Amino acid sequence: SQTIHQWPATLVQPVGSPLSLECTVEGTSNPNLYWYRQAAGRGLQLLFYSVGIGQISSEVPQNLSASRPQDRQFILSSKKLLLSDSGFYLCAWGPLGEGQETQYFGPGTRLLVL
Amino acid sequence: GQNIDQPTEMTATEGAIVQINCTYQTSGFNGLFWYQQHAGEAPTFLSYNVLDGLEEKGRFSSFLSRSKGYSYLLLKELQMKDSASYLCAVRDSNYQLIWGAGTKLIIKP
């Protein structure tokens, strides 16, 4: 069965510091991978998605970036965090879907920028 | 633009039935999904509709009308553990999921 891991679970960072969040998937090959952000009490905002190694699509211009160095690894980064970067960051995986195939989420990272 | 609307919050009583509505306007349609998200946790998949009609899964059912751009999630025999946010998402013509903001469901004893 497939599992998805994210770390760290929580993170408190000062404004202007760098960020690196990691996501890995087990039990599947060549998944589509996604980074979402969820502000408190709000819906999911798609940040990046990737259909393969080195292939990244950005949905929202911002000071964040993503990389996919390996098939089942997806990294979210920032060189300098802003207060507005605080939120719940969710990594998801899914096949390019027809039918009931949908996206499955990791446990999330709660980021607080002070 | 693409838009998905859900009520922000609903309250229901333990043991009762509640219906959470979702209306959508998207560029293309390749299925509608409902997810449950407990506070502080990741969303988990509940149901999928691609054809008009009702899909039943135990205490949960989901309905779709493509001509009306409308879906609802029906929860029966409510339990306290059903207190959560319920997210509606539509898969568009690019096979990307477009997400609603979610409906926070509060269950009272």
Q: How many CA atoms lie within 13 A of A82 on its CB side?
A: 5
Q: What is the mean pLDDT of residues B24-31?
A: 93
Q: Is pLDDT of B1 > 90? A: no
Q: Does A29 touch chain B (CB under 8 A)?
A: no
Tokens 């087990």 -> residue = A26
Mutant choice from A32, A36, A42, A44 vs B, greatest count of B C-beta within 10 A: A44
Residue B24 · residue B4 · CB < 8 Å? yes
pLDDT at A62: 79
Residues of chain A with pLDDT under 70: 61, 96-100
Q: Percentage of chain B with pLDDT > 90?
A: 88
Tell me whether B60 touches chain A (CB under 8 Å).
no
- Return the ∠ at Cα A4 (arms to B104 and A16), rounded to 5°: 75
> What is the rounded average pLDDT of the residues B62-86?
97
pLDDT at residue A96, as a whole number? 60
Whether B53 has its CB under 8 Å from any CB of chain A: the answer is no
Other residues' Cβ atoms within 10 Å of the Cβ of residue B27: 12
Residue B101 has pLDDT above 90, yes or no: yes
Pick from B60, B43, B20, B52: which is nearest to A94 by CA?
A: B43
